[in-house]
Amino acid sequence: MPDPTRPSATPAFLQHDRPPVPDIVVPRGIQPFHLQAQPVRGRLIRLGPLADALLTRHDNHPAVTRLAGQSLALAAGLAGALKFRGSFSVQAKGNGPVPMLLADCTEAGALRGYAKPAPEALAALLAEVPDPEAGALLGSGYLAFTCDQGLDMDRYQGIVAIAGSTLAEMTDHYFSTSEQLRTFVRLACDQTPAGWRASAFIMEKVAGEGGIDPALDAEAQEESWRTALALAGTLTEAEMLDDALSSPQLLHRLFHAEGLALDRPRSLSYGCRCSRARLAGVLQGFPEDDLDHMAEGGAITMTCEFCNLDFRFDRGEVRGAAGRA
């Protein structure tokens, strides 16, 4: 099969081949759960080898890679609540050493993302703080959570100022201020002997929904939530990143005495959706003069930010906006 990142005799708009990227599926990547008759539900996300496949596409400092891995696990966890075709994305823009962070996941579990550091600013920070957290890496800016419900539905986006030292704290801040939803979020990402691993634990307090014991008054429901928080607080990053410990086993450790019920798990997969045809369509939106400036040695090179692959187009095969008039 010809390499779709290179020019060929076939018109670019007809080239829909997937680039040579890892074909990885984690069958039980998202494990939803709830506590029977209690106002508690959540999801445990374990990316397994998918984390290594996604994160090693970019040669970033480990602190940046950890942040990217946490955002991927978070996006997967939030997308796990979707009940329609669409996607959920987490995006941060700031004035820090990592001015751009983006991760998104479809309802089918196709996951992608990247962190884009500013090399000089990152080097200056690392000279002072060898292992910086998300707050120091992102700086001041905003965090956006976007739910794309497809072409026939309006896109929903919530935006808050970056607040907190970790991405988990920033997410809790968003849900408490923008969604008035009580949550517990724990994120983990690190390099293990098996490669990079990433995980997320997201727990929510639900109010007035079916399945809650009618005998539980507001005070009893609050006590149930406090108990769940205390148990979830014992969760360690080592447990979250341990391949030998399955999600059902880990959840059983936490909530076996609280009426734990596991819901149907969902898969996660390598989800970069780039193609030569898609990027050719982007190029065709530029004026001819801009395309001429992009060309070097008679070719235009576009890089997919997600999978870090270069797509090369002969300048003569790309017709800009003016060229189609």
Domain 12-16+274-324 has CATH 3.90.1280.10: yes
Q: Which of 65, 61, 136, 66 is nearest to 97 (CA)?
A: 136
Contact 24, 50 (CB under 8 A): yes
Domains of the chain: which residue ranges? 12-16+274-324, 25-270
- pLDDT score of 204 more than 90: yes
Per-residue pLDDT, 19: 60
Task: Assess whether the region 12-16+274-324 and the region 25-270 belong to the same CATH fold.
Answer: no
Per-residue pLDDT, 323: 45
Helix (H, G, I), strand (E, B) or coil at 108: coil
Q: Whole-angstrom Cα distance, residue 30 to residue 51?
A: 13
Q: Which of 170-184, 199-213, 246-260 comes out lowest in average pLDDT?
A: 199-213
The fraction of the chain above a pLDDT of 90, given in percent, is: 63
124 falls in which pLDDT band (50, 70, 90)?
very high
- pLDDT score of 209 more than 60: no
202 falls in which pLDDT band (50, 70, 90)?
very high
State mean pLDDT over 99-121. Answer: 95
Q: Which of 13-22, 206-215, 234-243, 273-282 comes out lowest in average pLDDT?
A: 13-22
237 falls in which pLDDT band (50, 70, 90)?
very high
Q: Which of 15-19, 76-80, 290-294, 316-320 comes out lowest in average pLDDT?
A: 15-19
Per-residue pLDDT, 208: 62
Per-residue pLDDT, 245: 97
| Residue bearing the bigger pLDDT, 315 or 241 | 241
Homologous superfamily (CATH) for 25-270:
Hsp33 domain (3.55.30.10)
For residue 306, the one-letter residue type is F
Q: Whole-angstrom Cα distance, residue 184 to residue 176?
A: 10
Per-residue pLDDT, 11: 53
- pLDDT score of 221 more than 80: yes
Residue showing tokens 């090369």: 312
- pLDDT score of 6 more than 80: no
Q: Which of 12-16, 139-143, 303-307 comes out lowest in average pLDDT?
A: 12-16
178 falls in which pLDDT band (50, 70, 90)?
confident
Write the DSSP assignment of 15-60 as a string of letters: --PPPS----EEEEEEEEEEETBSSEEEEEEE-THHHHHHHTTS--
Contact 180, 173 (CB under 8 A): no
Structure tokens at 205: 């307090």
Per-residue pLDDT, 325: 44
| Residue bearing the bigger pLDDT, 179 or 101 | 101
Q: Which of 104-108, 133-137, 176-180, 220-224 comes out lowest in average pLDDT?
A: 176-180
Q: Whole-angstrom Cα distance, residue 325 to residue 313?
A: 21
Alpha-carbon torsion 276, 278, 279, 280, what sign?
Answer: positive
| Residue bearing the bigger pLDDT, 224 or 180 | 224
